[in-house]
Amino acid sequence: MQVARMKAETRTAIGRNQLRALRAKGWTPAVVYGEKKDPLSISISEWELEQHIKKHHKVFRLEIDGKAQDAMLQDIQFDVITDHPVHCDFIRVDLTKPIEVEVEVAFAGYAVGIGRGGTLVKDHALIKVRCVPTAIPESLEVTVDSLDLDMSICAREVALPAGVELVSDGDLVVCHVAKLTGPAAEAAPAADAAAAAPAADAKKPEEKKADAKKK
């Protein structure tokens, strides 16, 4: 994973009104913590942060008042109305030391069991792995094409890039195909029957003429 650079400044604004004034000037308040050091309050450019979010950057080299600090973006809070970031947390990291982190699972393909009256259930969309910060995968792809009814994929079956180790329980079910029940299951055969009806009524021209002569 790319190590993105972002400038930051130490922050003294703490109260609600002060933070509101800070955001009005285009700055987002943040905190850097971890590695047994005191938390550090900082402010970063809202525009610059949004550009990094769009590019899914997670590992940063923060330049805080001219001093470099490697950190990983741990959490972002967004305004429910404007969807702009209003606060974020960074955790200090050593780029040479492995850390544990959750990575999103990307499901690809179309499970064969869906065509047999099933539905794909995504049990766990996040898997915990261990690796150095620069090796964190953006996502872990899982192909579900071969999944039939009552079949599942466990965490140990998910392919991991070199240098990445599984931390989650290997028996953790990532996804499975379950048979539809209730109204949804009843609607599926009805839809299939409706789709098949026109095909059953379709006859060749010579067959229609033969029927007309019989009448």
Q: What is the CATH number of the domain that holds 192?
A: 2.170.120.20
Reported confidence tier of residue 192, pLDDT bands at 50, 70, 90: very low
Distance CA 179, CA 86 (A): 43
Write out pLDDT tens, residues 60-112. Answer: 999 998 899 999 999 999 999 999 999 999 999 999 999 999 999 999 999 99
Residue 187 has pLDDT above 70, yes or no: no
What is the domain extent for residue 43?
3-94
Q: How, if at all, do strands 126-131 and 165-166 pair?
A: antiparallel
Number of domains in the chain: 2
The answer to whether residues 17 and 76 belong to one domain is yes
Residue 215 has pLDDT above 90, yes or no: no
3-state secondary structure of 200: helix
The answer to whether residues 87 and 106 belong to one domain is no
Question: Does a structural domain hold residue 22?
Answer: yes
More confident residue, 179 or 189: 179
- pLDDT over 90 percentage in the chain: 76
The answer to whether residues 89 and 144 belong to one domain is no
Place of tokens 């990307």: 106
pTM exceeds 0.85, yes or no: no
The answer to whether residues 84 and 14 belong to one domain is yes
Of the three residues 94, 119, 149, the one that is the final residue of a domain is 94
Q: What is the mean pLDDT of residues 205-211?
A: 55
